[in-house]
Amino acid sequence: MEKRQLGKNGLEVSAIGLGCMRASAGHGPVGGTRQEMIAVLRGAVDRGITLFDTAQVYGPFVNEELVGEALAPVRDQVVISTKFGFQFDNSGDPHPTGLNSRPEYIKETVEASLKRLRVEAIDLLYQHRVDPAVPIEEVAGAVKELIEQGKVRHFGLSEAGAQTIRRAHAVQSVTALQSEYSLWWREPEKENLATLEELGIGLVSFSPLGKGYLAGSVTEQTQFDKQDNRGTFPRFSLEARKANRALVDAIQSFAAKKHATAAQIALAWVLAQKPWIVPIPGTTKLERLDENIGATSLKFTSEELQELDGILTRIPVAGDRYPAEVQRMTNR
């Protein structure tokens, strides 16, 4: 497996990582039993994947426990990232009640993450969403203390805007920004990519397959489980799925000429943008994992990249990425 450096702080990871969110309950149907999901994570290690992504809110908490159990036997071979920043109360309701990045709460929840992940140090710790109630300098300062204590190795931000990245980086060097980036969401190109390049920060691209849509696994016939959050996204409404079919058809036609799948084209495109970008597609099936890894061997000529850009320019994407209240929590 090809390796890449996330930023200038020496964090080397596989060119493709694994997003683990859907390996446990909480965001839609799970692709198998707990033991089957553990087998997928360990199978990913066997195939050379070293970056595994989870978060406190996935489940919540059960995903960190799953990742911790799965990777404990191979801890020295992997990089585990998790995220803080959502508030959980003691009412028994597992869903978050809002954002909370107060320094004391960060430290409290990180202690719990360390136990669930079965690690002495978290390799890459992200603020999951920027909390407007807490200055980012205080957040960065809290993570800096955790790094000094040996409980965290690298600091990351998720869905943060350029100015927030700069302010955080001035307090504690940021290793990676995690944001959605794909053939149908290129917002990071407007400002963030240039900021990351200037500061020497890597980009971890989540949903590089458009939450399954760009791979062709979501169609107009798809019926979303009531727990599947995609069913609430405007981009996954029936009307949007019908309108966006033209984009998938064009990608599949391009893929056929490259003797590849649409998923491989989507991942290879992300990889081709910058050498410090690492996509983390999620999957619960080893055959899909093998397909995704195959994208690392795909290379594009400049003419082919221009052809793909032409497709994206010609076919606009229908539907907002998130509902308005969720979208407001991004790019702050």
Is position 58 within any domain? yes
Task: Provide the pLDDT confidence category of residue 93 given band limits of 50, 70 and 90.
Answer: low
Residue 28's pLDDT is what? Answer: 77
- On the question of pLDDT at 167 being above 80, the answer is yes
310 assigned to some structural domain: no
What's 287's domain CATH number? Answer: 3.20.20.100
Domain assignment present for 156 = yes
Q: What is the DSSP letter of 282?
A: B
Whether the Cβ atoms of residue 23 and residue 65 lie closer than 8 Å to each other: no
Quick one: average pLDDT of 201-205?
98
**Two tokens at 143?**
């993570």
CA distance 152 to 171: 15
How far is the CA of 69 from the CAs of 32, 75, 81, 297, in angstroms? 16, 10, 15, 31
DSSP state of 186: -
Note the pLDDT tens digit of each residue in 263-306: 999 999 999 999 999 999 999 999 999 999 999 999 999 999 99
The reported pLDDT for the residue numbered 193 is 98
Residue 165 in domain: yes
Dist. CA 254–CA 244, nearest whole Å: 16
Q: Show the tokens assigned to 297.
A: 């061997």
**So which residues are the catalytic ones?**
58
> According to the model, what pLDDT value does residue 27 have?
78
CA nearest to 157, candidates 136, 141, 182, 133: 136
**Does residue 56 sit within a domain?**
yes
Domain membership of residue 159 (yes or no) is yes
- Rounded to an integer, the average pLDDT of 6-35 is 93
Domain limits for position 288: 3-211+274-294
pLDDT digits (tens, 9 = 90+) for 27-79: 777 889 999 999 999 999 999 999 999 999 999 999 999 999 999 999 999 99
How far is it, in rounded angstroms, from Cα 155 to Cα 123? 9
The number of distinct structural domains making up the chain is: 1
CA–CA distance, 103 with 139 (Å, rounded to integer): 6
Q: What is the pLDDT of residue 73?
A: 98
Within a domain: 107: yes
331 domain-assigned? no
pLDDT in tens, 116-127: 999 999 999 999
